[in-house]
Amino acid sequence: MSGVTGIWERLRQALSGGRRPPLDPARTDLVVVVSSFDDAESCSGALERGAATAPRWVDGDEAMLRHHLELPADAVDRAVELAGQDGYVKAAPVHTPTNGRTGFVLQRVQILDAMHCAQEKSRMAGLAQRLGGTATGWDALQPDSAAD
């Protein structure tokens, strides 16, 4: 039955000029389709891995890109304020890593490709460093493509 739903979704897209409605970050069917917590791994390498393993990253579809940061507690609000200028919001939950910093996630919905992923990864690393912390990695969520 899910194949029929996928056919109708593709037909609806074709009739609407190929554009899907924006990805709702509150959807309950979002799954992590790609992640990288290794500074040495390129975004293109991570995305290739994400496209090859289930659940699969779907190139060209919007994703919720999430950056995982650890900052001194008194810098979190400033980070959220600065990242908010680019459409990022703080996601729950907030946790306290063993190093005494506050760990949290900044997220936004966007089309994810290697170039933009690398730009955002670099931007978040710079933001975290300026505020005395670290960007520990990133992940991206999309609706589970296996369900279509």
Residue-level pLDDT at 4: 47
Looking at domain 24-147, its CATH architecture is 2-Layer Sandwich (3.30)
The rounded distance, in Å, linking the Cα atoms of 37 and 39 is 6
Q: Tell me the DSSP string of 5-55.
A: HHHHHHHHHHHTTTPPPPPPTT-TTEEEEEEE--TTS-HHHHHHHHHHSSS
Give Dmax over CA atoms of the chain in angstroms. 53
Q: What is the pLDDT of residue 138?
A: 98
**pLDDT score at 3:** 47
**What is the C-alpha to C-alpha distance for residues 95 and 18, in angstroms, rounded to an integer?**
40
Closest residue by Cα to residue 67 from 92, 104, 102: 104
Give the model's pLDDT for residue 146: 63
What pLDDT was estimated at residue 115?
96
Asked whether the beta carbons of 44 and 116 are under 8 A apart, the reply is no
The model's pTM is 0.83
CB-count exposure of residue 59 (10 Å: 0-12, 13-18, 19+): middle
So where are the chain's domains? 24-147
pLDDT value, residue 114: 96
- Residues 72 and 113: their CA atoms lie apart, in Å, by 30
List the pLDDT tens digit at each of the 148 positions of the chain: 444 445 555 555 556 555 667 899 899 999 999 999 999 999 999 999 999 999 999 999 999 999 999 999 999 999 999 999 999 999 977 888 878 899 999 999 999 999 999 999 999 999 999 999 999 999 999 998 766 5
Residue 11 is predicted with a pLDDT of 58
Report the phi/psi class of residue 107: left, alpha or beta, with left for phi > 0 and alpha for psi in -120 to 50. Answer: beta
